[in-house]
Amino acid sequence: MVKPKNYFGLLLALMLPLVLAARTQQPSEQHHNHQQGKQRVDGVNKRGDHAMGFSHEKTTHHFRLTAEGGAIEVTANDPNDTASREQISTHLSHIAGMFKEGDFSAPMFIHDEAPPGVAAMKRLKADITYTFETIESGARVRIASANAEAVEAIHGFLRYQIKEHQTGDPLEGDKHASIGSDHSCSAMKETCPFAVASRAADK
């Protein structure tokens, strides 16, 4: 018969290797996940540079969520970088036309999968407008709809882009905000990105 003291000693001896193995395995898994995440981002950036025609290192993406949909916005990091500014305008103008026709092959190629919201945005393309605009140092595409299902799909699409491109933009938009002439900036004052961009474009 095993005495209680010996029993607990034996149990501890059996458990110790398992605990040590688990602690050794955890950093390895974290490193593996980190490597996978880095490879994912590198792949998106590489395919994105190829599809968009400009360098992600010379430009900045933003994806804005608003009450009626949102916007895709790209600017050149250097305001004197006319080449990137022209490439941005060419790409986003092309994207606006493609999305209008229900063609989302560009983001599907860049991300190597169909982003959330794409299926609904294709099906409801007649209810969605895509408006290309030039802004200071770049351009944007305004995406809007009065269809609640379409707006939900647009938001899902833009949230995915925020995460994939790691832009740090808010994942929830202002429920009362819109983009353009009807946009309400009173709550955001001078920090509203659309107001700042619009004022700069008007100069």
pLDDT at 24: 55
Tell which residue, 171, 166, 165, 169, has the closest CA to residue 194: 169
Q: Is the pLDDT of residue 198 over 70?
A: no
Q: Closest Cα to residue 146, out of 68, 71, 72, 70?
A: 68
**Looking at the whole model, is its pTM more than 0.85?**
no
Please give the residue that has the higher pLDDT: either 22 or 9.
9
Average pLDDT, the chain: 80
- The predicted structure's pLDDT at residue 39: 74
Query: What per-residue confidence (pLDDT) applies to 56?
Result: 85
Top-confidence residue, 50 or 29: 50
Instruction: Read off the pLDDT of each residue in 87-92 and give the average, rounded to a whole number.
Output: 96
CA-to-CA separations, 54 to 88, 91, 123, 168, in angstroms, rounded: 7, 9, 30, 21
Position 61 scores a pLDDT of 94
- Which stretch of DSSP H or E encloses residue 109? helix 105-111
pLDDT at 187: 35
- Report the C-alpha gap between 65 and 154 in whole angstroms: 8
- 34 pLDDT tier (thresholds 50, 70, 90): low
Q: 9-18, 47-56, 97-106, 182-191 — which is least confidently predicted? A: 182-191
Which pLDDT tens digit goes with each residue over 157-191?
Answer: 999 999 998 999 999 876 666 665 434 333 333 43
**Are 123 and 99 spatial neighbours (Cβ–Cβ below 8 Å)?**
no
Which pair of structure tokens corresponds to residue 71?
A: 């916007």
- Beta-bridge mates of residue 75: 60, 138
